[in-house]
A and B are shown apart, each in its own frame.
Chain A
């Protein structure tokens, strides 16, 4: 199919779909109308009963905790898939001493400013990420958001120096075990519910006082599991991509 024909077919279909969408949209409740009884229940009785002050956290790590487990498994699958796709192929070799002056590579000059700020921001970013993970039940933070920041912090040594510096700070062989540990923490707290005679992922840990760090029962622990998992998953994927750019070479015949 020629590009022009394909675009024409698309425009016809998009026109029909767009018309149907507009038709559907004018029949929807107005923007800002308060229609969800479920929202009122979650914001009121549920957050009160679970001693948390972030309703989003209560949904993700209590009401829909089993969905969040599925979400974690999506991350694992993506990280494994990325690592498999980017493995060293039969016709490729990996350099032991990366040299960016090879043919076909342009040598990247890291400026002093990037070096300085990459190192200067390493610890603050790490602490910020840990804080986001820890405050999942009291603020809009949580394991997912904090995990991304943690992963970013651990990639700063690459930005400021080299892949070897990165490997020194956060050794690549630890990423996948760390991801497994994150998942294990989550599943472990899920099984705890079964052990004490309740349901899988039931919130059986003492709930604590609403508004403080240790509140919401097992939710802070689930957040930590997710945080480790997300940070490790991010590192697995980005490290696989970085290896492709820095280390992998086509084997010369």
Chain B
């Protein structure tokens, strides 16, 4: 089971975050659910890059001969986190304006488009 467990964790995070988005009654909660969905991709990327017994791919302070993990997916995870942070910031800004306009943070109250 351990051979596939981290992949299953990534899949679970994705689905549970999606469930949160669908059932959310609060835009701030919804934004955090989007962050949960995004964190599933970090788990997936780092899982793909891991090798048994591997160390971090930084060589100054680690003994030679120990195999390092895949640095390409680690770098992609960094990109991923940056994108996640910017998406969260923009969604929170939109939530704030929606609350000012309508006095509500419930997505169910935001049904009509207004100019």
Contacts and interface: CB of A to CB of B under 8 A. Distances in A.
B110 interface: no
Nearest to B14: A21
Interface string B1-33: 011111110010011001100110000000000
Given A18-B15, A55-B71, A82 B93 contact: yes
A240 B68 contact: no
Name which of A3, A55, A237 has the most chain B CB atoms within 10 A of its CB. Answer: A55
22 contacts: A18-B11, A22-B8, A28-B7, A31-B50, A32-B54, A33-B51, A36-B49, A39-B71, A43-B71, A54-B57, A56-B71, A74-B86, A78-B89, A81-B93, A82-B89, A85-B94, A85-B97, A86-B96, A138-B58, A144-B81, A237-B89, A244-B96
Given A31-B6, A82-B93, A85-B93, 18 more contacts: A10-B18, A10-B22, A18-B15, A21-B15, A22-B11, A25-B8, A31-B2, A31-B5, A33-B52, A36-B72, A39-B71, A42-B70, A54-B58, A55-B58, A60-B75, A60-B78, A77-B86, A86-B93
Interface in A202-253: 211, 230, 237, 240-241, 244
Contacts of A60: 75, 78-79
Interface in B82-114: 82-83, 86-87, 89-90, 92-94, 96-97, 100, 108
A235 B82 CA distance: 15
A82 B90 contact: yes
Contact of B71 (A25, A31, A42, A89): A42
Nearest to A85: B93
Interface string A168-209: 000000000000000000000000000000000000000000
Contacts of B69: 39
Main secondary structure of the interface of B (DSSP, over half): helix
Interface of B: 2-8, 11, 14-15, 18-19, 22-23, 47, 49-54, 56-61, 67-72, 74-75, 78-79, 81-83, 86-87, 89-90, 92-94, 96-97, 100, 108
